[in-house]
Structure 1
Amino acid sequence: MKPKMKILINHPMEFLNCLFALGTDKGFLELIRDFDLEPNDKITGMLQEMKKPLSQYIQQELIYFFDASGLGFVLYKYIIFHVSSNKVTDIIELLQQENSDEFVFKMIECVCKNTLPAKGSPDYIALKGNKPGLLNLIGDTTVQDETRRDRILEAVENPEEVKQRFILLLSRFYNVGFAPFESEIRKIIEAEKPRYQLLLEEMPEMFIKQYLNLDSLEDSPGGYVLHLSFFKYVSCHAYSSYREDIADWFVLGIYSDLLFNESVAAEKQAQFFKVLSDVKRIGIIRLLSERPWFGQELAEALDISPPTVSYHIGFLQQIGVVNFTRTDNRFYYSLDRSKLLKPLEDFIRSLQQS
């Protein structure tokens, strides 16, 4: 039985990816260049135009919530649990109706995954709205940088203010930045969608291995959603619902097929060694050689942020040495030793034969 997967264009998810692209500023374009690709004029031009009408305050808020240390990642929780809401304004309305303490608690769930009590347990329930308890929880949590800790502490101390700041940012940016380009963005994605749809339908195993970096997808009652993204640009990111009845999401950059263009053996070898030439990626490989790890664990062990882990994992998946699987409602990364060793053995063999 093939896993259920629906390819769609979800405007709120694309809005989220756009916010990250602007919040990380030049870092976003560098991520694309690290794949040995040059961002096309469409994306660089659109980001520049979106930024022009924003006040200095909104630009600062973009960085605050959506840079590497930001807490804007919480927005995905409202998106994947309301897949039928395909309007950004609907998601903003959900946020406006949300209790501010519940909103901040969702942020804490993103930051303190490893130190939270079991979901639904009395200790877990008792934390909601319990400011001293939340401050203690944050104090007991290993974070990757003090900026992120400071921001989550500020959210606990001032939940309503942080919620209103977040809503103001989303509302203002949507109205003057994103909305004027929303139709154009959809047309760009729709133009690229047919070939991915065809690949998924005709060669599902290849699609899952090549584009999602998975050996297989297990059957899930909630199924899977694949959002094609202009602002993700290349590679894939997974968002787990951590619930059996709600779909897990994959966000795939519409130019990801550029990563799989055929090249000569020497170019492939050069790319392989280039990917391995980063100390953090070597650290990830060493840890994964011990056992499978999930993203938050890797971030804490290497003292880097979860987005940084995802960034480096993307390169390791590009050369096929890292896979991930869903176990106990978490995505675990594992090392594919054969795909790591074979290029090394081939390179050594080529030297011995020369």
Structure 2
Amino acid sequence: MEIPKEQVTFTVHPPVEFIYALNFTANEESLYKFYLDFNFSPSEELRLLIEEMKSKLSKYMSNELIYFFEWQDMLHILGRIILENETIKTTQDLIRFIEQICDKELLSYIIRQALYSENDSSQSLVCWSDCQHIAGNIRQLISDMDDKTDEDKEKLMECVENPSEIKARLCLLMTQFYEKCYKPVEHKILIKLESTKEKYERLLHEDPNYFDKEFLGNFSGFKYERMKIHISYFTQIRPWLFHTKPYNDTLWVNLGIYTDQYPRKMFTKAKVQKFVKLLSDKKRFEMVEMLGKKPHYVYELAAALELTPPTVSYHLTSLTDLNLLRIERKNNRAYYSLDREIVRELLKNAEEVLLA
């Protein structure tokens, strides 16, 4: 273990599970494809639950769910809010918190997340406590972003120009989804997760080294003193992180409820398959080669590879899906570089899989 097991806390955190429910319902098709790519079949119980929740949404609410949560930043925005505000302990607490903060405070969370990178210099780019100047300072930053799609920029600009409307729409969506769709099943899900939490606590206590190797992988790129592990129904397998830095020296990990039924060797084999497939594309291979030599931003890669910036962004997403990249923001440009340790690990995994 990177840290003693006494500094690892297991939890079932209702607001975290609620936002994963929102995210899964909005991105059902793409998440099922992800599971298919990793040779995992989500439970029939999950499929039926998602269909049941979707059946209770009006057409308007379905569109709002897609608007906010197909936008992947929203999951991490809400995750950041939960992690930074320890008084948020229930789903109702989360909804009330967003209802009660001023619209520009919500905007500051949104923009901070949009500007987040592993270096996370977003705090220094804008004085977040000075709400009077947020809109004026942010428009140019959004316009200059080279790592965002036009659709993402348009959504961010709408948040800047209409923060009150965005807040009202988000609150209405979360309230309606909770009352109509999630509240009727929340207790059942939390009871199931509490039981699973006890199982993972026993596994950690019995063999910390095995637990770390099998379930947590390598979080050496993060600096933290404590780890909090939320057991999650809607992530199903493997560990997931919010795209935020550890808060109060605590790293939050969301561990899927069925991770123990999906051995790491299966996940590793699927990753190797995706890695080999990724490198089979000539342009992606050249991109990996370039990023291994030095950091590049999108327009540099586009010019060197004779591709359009949107095509480069598409390829970068493929690399990001395998955690192959590090991102650092300088002068509002996102610089991508290859995470050499992850690549070395994948190459070692490939050897183990192919030469076993």
Secondary structure at the aligned position of 1:239 is classed as coil
Deviation at 1:218, TM superposition (A): 7.7
Aligned to 1:2: 4
Structure with the bigger RCO (C-alpha within 8 Å, sep 6+) is 2
Secondary structure at the aligned position of 2:171 is classed as helix
Q: CA RMSD of the aligned region, Å?
A: 3.8
Aligned to 1:51: 54
For structure 1, the 5+ residue unaligned runs are 314-321, 325-331
For structure 2, the 5+ residue unaligned runs are 302-308, 327-337
My pick for the range that moved more, 81-90 or 5-14, is 81-90
Percentage identity across paired residues of the two chains: 23
Secondary structure at the aligned position of 2:236 is classed as coil
- Establish whether residue 276 from structure 1 lines up as the match of residue 276 from structure 2: yes
My pick for the range that moved more, 38-47 or 132-141, is 132-141
Secondary structure at the aligned position of 1:227 is classed as strand
Aligned to 1:204: 208
Aligned to 1:25: 28
Deviation at 1:23, TM superposition (A): 1.1
Deviation at 1:349, TM superposition (A): 6.3
Q: How does 1:59-98 map to 2 (within 5 A)?
A: 59-68=62-71, 71-98=74-101
Q: How does 1:95-244 map to 2 (within 5 A)?
A: 95-113=98-116, 119=123, 129-214=133-218, 220-221=224-225, 223-239=226-242, 242=245
Deviation at 1:255, TM superposition (A): 1.1
Deviation at 1:152, TM superposition (A): 0.6
Aligned length, in residue pairs: 327
Q: Structure 1-normalised TM-score?
A: 0.78
Q: Structure 2-normalised TM-score?
A: 0.77
Question: In 1, Cα distance between the equivalents of 2:286 and 2:132?
Answer: 36
Question: In 2, Cα distance between the equivalents of 1:75 and 1:224?
Answer: 19
Structure with greater proportional helix content: 2
Q: 1:18 to 1:287 in 2, by over 3 A?
A: farther
Give the AA of the match of 1:185.
I
My pick for the range that moved more, 50-59 or 197-206, is 197-206
Secondary structure at the aligned position of 1:113 is classed as coil
Q: 1:189 to 1:308 in 2, by over 3 A?
A: farther
Aligned to 1:11: 14
**Any conservation in 1 of the 2:20–2:75 contact (CA below 8 Å)?**
no
Secondary structure at the aligned position of 2:123 is classed as coil
Secondary structure at the aligned position of 1:130 is classed as helix
Secondary structure at the aligned position of 2:262 is classed as helix
Deviation at 1:260, TM superposition (A): 1.0
